[in-house]
A and B are shown apart, each in its own frame.
Chain A
Amino acid sequence: MNILEMDDVHTHIMGFHILEGVNLMVSQGKATVLLGRNGAGKTTTMKTIMGLTPSSSGTILFKGQPIQKMRDFEIPRLGISLVPENRDVFSNLTVEENLRLAVRNGKNVKTERLEYILDIFPPMKDLFKKKGGNLSGGEAQMVAVARALVNEDALLIIDELTKGLAPIIIESLSNVLAEIKKNTTILLVEQNFEFATGICDDYLIMEQGKVVHSGKVDEIKGDKQIQSKYLGV
């Protein structure tokens, strides 16, 4: 069963045609990676799903419900959370406030969700009073992912998780995603081929605003031709 489907989705930004008919499907309970070179349209695809850069035409279905006409703030309420490319942890808020801000129903993070988050990120408990602006790159990424886990959403969209992070942190994130994958469907945008294919089940490759290849990750792992042609690996 597909939790997310995009059918011939076009997106224009300031007159530029960025997404030129994106078709994709994300299976429920799986981790899917969206691969592609810089400028292929991966981040715009994420933002279009979230309603932050609305589509010009086409259909986006989340759990079978069309969401392409919804306003940006309504889409997360359906059960989709985003870890953006630049983390966007609020620098003037403490880590605890960053998490609390994400709570959609109620005032504070539910105890069981907090325990789940601390199970995944044990060092988080020492960061609660720290301002977002004082976090290291790895800590900020940890908070950005934790913030997206506050609401027990059905789909977690992560944009460039490993960008700018040290190899040792990337390795630990790999374990984190494996843990999150047990309960949540993941759509991951990633340039780090090794990292992405180590975690994900399905892949999509974008080029010039379109999905040009898709399938099982195991198929692409050995396909040097596709890796070289579309990903420059």
Chain B
Amino acid sequence: MYSPELYLNLALNALSVGMLYFLICSGFSLVFGLLRVLNFAHGSLIMWGAYLGVFFTRALSSFSGALILTAVIIGILGVLIEFFLIRRLYGNELFQLLLTFGLIFILDEVVKLIWGPGVIPVEKPEFLQGSVMIYGEPFTLYRLFILATGAIVCVSIYLLLKKTKLGLIIRAGIENKEMVRALGVNINKVFTLVCGMGGFLGGVAGFVLGGFSGLSPEMGFGQLINILVIVVVGGLGSFIGTAVAAIILGLSESFLGFFLPEFAMIGIFIVMFVVLSIKPSGLFGGE
């Protein structure tokens, strides 16, 4: 019989995993929601965020400064990718797929050229080392940092989408781009901005992920399956769906990992199977 404290600790760990998944998927979901572009290179942007995050943390000796600088640079990379590449391929899904897959190889190989092909362990900053006791069970500070970052990002995006004119345009654009244009909105500018925001979120996710799991050139591609499963379970294009699906998958992975470890690796696919069997468009997807 397990104690309630253990369940609480397990739930907090699961939530932190869910939040990490949410950070990883949020940029991808935002871009797909508006542009209908499956940016398979999002994982590689996350990987670049992780490498640059470690590089800047060491160079600047400032954790928060490195986080912001990393996110901004990956955001600019997102803008450049939209402006020079994706913009030419709207409506051509096959070419978008080929382009974003091609970008994976380029971005991953450049990382190998600069930092080498091996795994690089990352030491967490001093103030995030160790753990706190919550109801008698230890909970690592870095997981607390993930929870806080995920919550801040989630609330910020929610407020942006719900409370600003830009958010209004994004939500309307997801539904009917032509009508948004007919209202006098330059939606191409919004597309570019959203790609920048997607990159920014990828940069934040990479920064956090690097400190959590270390660096490797495969870390971005490895997240691609998780990203796709989460956005499909949440409902393609639904930002709230992505957040909910990420938390559900974090919970399932952690609880299965504890109680049925042999199923831990396939937990997310079990969740996907159950959800899509009941609602093929995903939890928050339109019919």
A73-111 interface with B by 8 A CB criterion: 73-77, 82, 84, 88, 90-93, 97, 100-102, 104, 107
- Contact between chains at B183 and A72 (CB < 8 Å): no
- Contact between chains at B172 and A73 (CB < 8 Å): no
Closest-CB distance, A176 to chain B (whole angstroms): 20
Closest-CB distance, B183 to chain A (whole angstroms): 5
Known: A73-B186, A73-B187. A93 touches B168 (CB 8 A): yes
Q: At the interface, yes or no: B184 with Cβ under 8 Å from chain A?
A: yes
Known: A100-B168, A101-B169, A107-B165. A90 touches B175 (CB 8 A): yes
| Cα A97 to Cα B162 with chains together (Å) | 10
Per-position 1/0 for A62-75, Cβ under 8 A of B: 00000000011111
- Contact between chains at B182 and A50 (CB < 8 Å): yes
- Contact between chains at B182 and A52 (CB < 8 Å): yes
A75 / chain B contacts, CB cutoff of 8 Å: 184
| Cα A93 to Cα B169 with chains together (Å) | 10
- Contact between chains at B165 and A91 (CB < 8 Å): no
Closest-CB distance, B286 to chain A (whole angstroms): 9
B184-209 interface with A by 8 A CB criterion: 184-187
Known: A73-B187, A107-B165. A92 touches B171 (CB 8 A): yes
A172-209 interface with B by 8 A CB criterion: none
A91 / chain B contacts, CB cutoff of 8 Å: 175
- Contact between chains at B168 and A73 (CB < 8 Å): no
A101 / chain B contacts, CB cutoff of 8 Å: 165, 168-169, 172, 180, 183
A102 / chain B contacts, CB cutoff of 8 Å: 183
| Cα A90 to Cα B179 with chains together (Å) | 9
When C-beta atoms are compared, the residue in chain B nearest to A107 turns out to be B165
Which of these, B165, B175, B182, B183, contacts A92 with CB under 8 Å?
B175
When C-beta atoms are compared, the residue in chain B nearest to A91 turns out to be B175
| Cα A90 to Cα B175 with chains together (Å) | 7
B176 / chain A contacts, CB cutoff of 8 Å: 88, 90
Q: At the interface, yes or no: B181 with Cβ under 8 Å from chain A?
A: yes
Q: At the interface, yes or no: B93 with Cβ under 8 Å from chain A?
A: no
**Do most interface residues of chain B lie in helix, strand or loop, or is the interface mixed?**
helix
Which of these, B165, B174, B175, B184, contacts A76 with CB under 8 Å?
B184
- Contact between chains at A76 and B172 (CB < 8 Å): no
Q: At the interface, yes or no: B178 with Cβ under 8 Å from chain A?
A: yes
| Cα A144 to Cα B120 with chains together (Å) | 57
Closest-CB distance, A137 to chain B (whole angstroms): 17
Known: A52-B178, A84-B179. A104 touches B184 (CB 8 A): yes
- Contact between chains at B171 and A93 (CB < 8 Å): yes
When C-beta atoms are compared, the residue in chain B nearest to A71 turns out to be B186
When C-beta atoms are compared, the residue in chain A nearest to B165 turns out to be A107
| Cα A104 to Cα B185 with chains together (Å) | 8
| Cα A100 to Cα B169 with chains together (Å) | 10
- Contact between chains at B184 and A77 (CB < 8 Å): yes
Closest-CB distance, B228 to chain A (whole angstroms): 24
| Cα A73 to Cα B177 with chains together (Å) | 11
- Contact between chains at B185 and A73 (CB < 8 Å): yes
B174 / chain A contacts, CB cutoff of 8 Å: 92
| Cα A50 to Cα B181 with chains together (Å) | 9
| Cα A196 to Cα B189 with chains together (Å) | 39
Closest-CB distance, B88 to chain A (whole angstroms): 16
| Cα A90 to Cα B173 with chains together (Å) | 9
When C-beta atoms are compared, the residue in chain B nearest to A144 turns out to be B179
B183 / chain A contacts, CB cutoff of 8 Å: 76, 101-102, 104, 147
21 contacts between A and B (CB under 8 A): A52-B182, A71-B186, A73-B181, A73-B185, A73-B186, A76-B182, A76-B184, A77-B184, A84-B179, A84-B182, A88-B182, A90-B175, A90-B179, A92-B175, A93-B172, A100-B168, A101-B168, A101-B183, A102-B183, A107-B165, A147-B183
Contact residues of A with B, CB < 8 Å?
A: 50, 52, 71-77, 82, 84, 88, 90-93, 97, 100-102, 104, 107, 147
Given A93-B172, A100-B168, 13 further pairs, Cβ under 8 A:
A52-B181, A73-B181, A76-B182, A76-B183, A76-B184, A84-B182, A88-B176, A90-B175, A93-B175, A101-B165, A101-B168, A104-B183, A147-B183
Contact residues of B with A, CB < 8 Å?
A: 165, 168-169, 171-172, 174-176, 178-187
